[in-house]
Every structure is written in structure tokens, then in C-alpha cells.
Amino acid sequence: MSVRTRFAPSPTGFMHIGNLRTALYAYLFARHYGGEFILRIEDTDEKRYVPGAVELIYRTLEASGFRIDEGPLNGGKYGPYVQSERKAIYAEYARKLIELGGAYYCFCDKERLESLTDENGNRKYDKHCLRLSPEEVRRKLEAGEEYVIRQNIPEHGMTEYEDMVYGRIAVDCADLEDNILIKSDGMPTYNFANVIDDHLMGITHVMRGAEYLSSTPKYNLIYAAFGWEPPKYVHLPAIMKDAQHKLSKRYGDANFEDFIAKGYLPEAIINYIALLGWSPKSDLEKMDMATLTELFGVEGISKSGSIFDEPKMRWLNGLYVKELPAEKFAEFAEPWYAKSVVADKYDHSKWNALLQSRIDIFSEIPEKVAFIEDFGEYDLALYDHKKLKADASVGYTAIKYALEALEPLETFDEESISAAFAAKAEEKGMKKGQLLWSVRVAVTGYAVTPGGAVEMADILGKEETLRRLNFSKELIEKKGNVQNS
């Protein structure tokens, strides 16, 4: 049997991490077994439809590295792959299900349905319309009375199935309700459409959230009524915001595009969410799509929920950032320079060399480079360094030596700057570390920067470096009571 899995999102907004994980596991499972991955858009809930959401689904899957075998964009032999375009198919199978006794017309109005509510606020349909005679049903239909089609669930007995993660699941039919399969507008509910589509599209394995564990028996009753074999089920544990709360699309938690906007790489997001509920047999954590495909298996899926840990994803993203080819890093970094103080200043390629090993996500860039323009009077205590035995007076001397070293340079790059500093320190009998420490503070006003004195001078250029060194020299003379000599 060839494996066929599907991802069937509703276009109701952004791509929640939980939805993307479902898509990922279905994709990895299909690819691991050499099968096919199908995209189906479940857009029958018109009230919740969000304009642009379908395009967002396509965009997210493409950015995440999914290769779709069949779907709305590339077609396939089981189309259409958009549920709103399959209305006639659902109507045909609903009529067949009524003939088979698995469903019935319901003409109850809103007032009657509300009267079924008990003292605890619970409501369960009482099969009233199931007891209508065929003649009454025909008369109502001919009169144009509004109706829905409900599933006819047995009133007694157990319905059960075997889930590939949670094992045997059994539900008492008495606890199930005759849910609506076809709404009054002729559109199907999820309860019906997913069964018809999964069967007609040859889906062999269905992956979805564990919240569907108890409702899956209802779907299997529809399969049984038609005489169809149900697919294998793989229910997935919840992704938790914390120990008590699930991540919620309703409250805007964990949006894929928001993470992209924060400067995460799609590959790192995919890698991280693969680990939210699944783990390989090894301790491997950084895995590209090819490695995930090779290692993925249902046996690695946990039954318990996983807490979404953004710091962990940030760390993982940092591994990907550090391994990017230089040209790709530059491509991702450039939009963030545009939002920073160095937007149209300095050589960004020099910043790239400094920052690639020092950031985890690209949105750190504006903060990492902000210091370069934040230059003015600063605390002279920054010159203090116990190990180097440096202070403002040592800094003052170092600045003078640095000026002597840099002013004659015709070529001003890291190599020439470094050589000039080394030669001057040796000539003057000063520790090279003291000179470099002092120059870094003198040209930035900070003790910690992405690069050292040589890199900072190279980025600033000769004119600005000399200006800042002279500024700091005068600052020490003014604040540190050090006299020029």
C-alpha cells in the first residue's frame, strides 16, 4: 500500500505552529515511506474565512520546504482540492448516507433546539426528526422547509479504533450526538467533509491533534455505513504554552510568520517544531528536512504535550545562522541593517564578518550595531581592566600611541591597522592588550562590542577613528585630570 497523507488547513488566519507541526509530521511520514503528500483547503466555514489566508498557507508551506504532490495549485486526479468547490460531491454522498440509514433530514428550528438545553447548559439533539415518516420528510422537502442533515449514531453500544500513538480508543455511542453533516446552506461540516474527502482522495494515514481522539469514532461510523475502510490514525499531543495552557491560535500564540518577522530562519523553525512531540532515537537536535525525513517515525511521537520553548528555538536558530554561507547571511542581514543606525553607513560586509558568529536571530542586528552611533561622553571607568592593569591614565597613553600609529597610514584596513598597533606597542614597551583595550573604549565608548579595536577602527574608517580618538583624549584630559605632554 502506497502511503498518502494530507494537510487540510482552514483559511481562518495565520499559520499557527500547531498546524504547521501537523503538516510537517504528515509530510515527513509520507516522504519517509516514499509516499505522497496532499494539500486540501477546508474552507466550508464561511463565517471564519479570512481573506488572504489561503495565500498565506501556500506561502508558509513553500518557505518551509514542503513539496506538495497534489493540491489546489498543482492539481491531481482527485481534485478539486478546495472543499467549497466540492459541494455537489458532498450532497451526493449525503443522500447516499441517508439511504443507507447513516443520516437523516432534520427540520428542527432554533427555538426547538434551544429547548433541549438542560439545567447545566448542556444540549444534545434528541433524534426527533429521525422518527418522521418518509411521507412527512418528503412533504417538508417539497414545501421548501429549511433543513440540515444529521448523522444517525446508534443509541447503544461501543465504537472503537486503534490509534498509532495512543492505542485503543473506545467511546460509548450514548455519549455521542447526532452532529450536523450538511448545514442549511448546503455546505458540509468538518464531521462529514473530511471523511468523504479522505476516502475519495485515497488518504491512508490521517494526522491531527489529540483533541480529535474522542470524535474520531463518529467519523468511523460514517466509514462503516458506506462500507469503507477507515484510514490509520495518528493523533498528536498538544503543544503547550506552559504547564497549564495550550498554545492558542485564538490568542495569537506562536505564529509562523511572526517568527520569520523576528528574524528566524524557516529551516530552524521547522527543525524546532519537529521536536515538539517527537524525538529521534539518537540525541540529535539539529536536523535539516532530509535528516528529519530519514529519521522520522510514529514510534518517536510522545503521548504527552510539549512546552513551546522559544529560547530553545532561538539557540537552534543560532546554529543555522552560524553555518550560513557568507552570501546568504548577507542576504538575510541586509533588511535588518536597513532598520538600524548603519542603514546607509559603513561597510555592511564588515559587519557581517563580525556578527555572524554573534547573533542567534537576525532581529538582534539593529541592537548589536546601535552602539556605533551612540558615541559621546562616557564613564572613564570603562578603561579599568584588572588583568591588563589598565585605567584611564593608561588609556590616555594608549590613545596617544594609537594616534601616532594610525595617522601615517595610507592603507586603512584590518591588516594595516593591526600591524601598526603591534609595532607601536612594541616600540613604546606597552602591552598590546592594554593598547587594544583602550582603543576599543576610545572609539566606541563601550567596553564590549562585537569586534575589538582593530575591527572597530576598520569599520569606522580612518577619519572617524582619528576623530573619536582625539575626542576621547580630550575627554580624559577634562575628566581624568591627565595633562597632555
Cβ pair 268, 316 in contact under 8 A: yes
Grid coordinates standing for 436? 587594544
Find, among 22, 42, 15, the residue nearest to 253 by Cα: 15
Rounded CA-CA distance 178/156 in Å is 13
Task: List the strands of the sheet with 167-172, edge to edge.
Answer: 167-172, 158-163, 232-236, 205-209
Rounded CA-CA distance 288/408 in Å is 51
Q: Exposure string (b/e) for 246-257, b if CB count within 10 Å is 16 or more?
A: bbebeeebbbbe
Cβ pair 255, 16 in contact under 8 A: yes
Bond from prior residue into 80 cis (ω within 30 degrees of 0): yes
Amino acid at 85: E
Rounded CA-CA distance 366/339 in Å is 7
Amino acid at 80: P
Respond yes or no: is residue 249 known to be catalytic. yes
| Cβ within 8 Å of residue 133, ≥6 positions away | none
Q: Pick the catalytic residue: 249, 262, 431, 462?
A: 249
Find, among 455, 462, 423, 5, the residue nearest to 208 by Cα: 5
3-state helix, strand, coil in the chain (%, to 5): 50, 10, 40
Catalytic machinery residues: 249
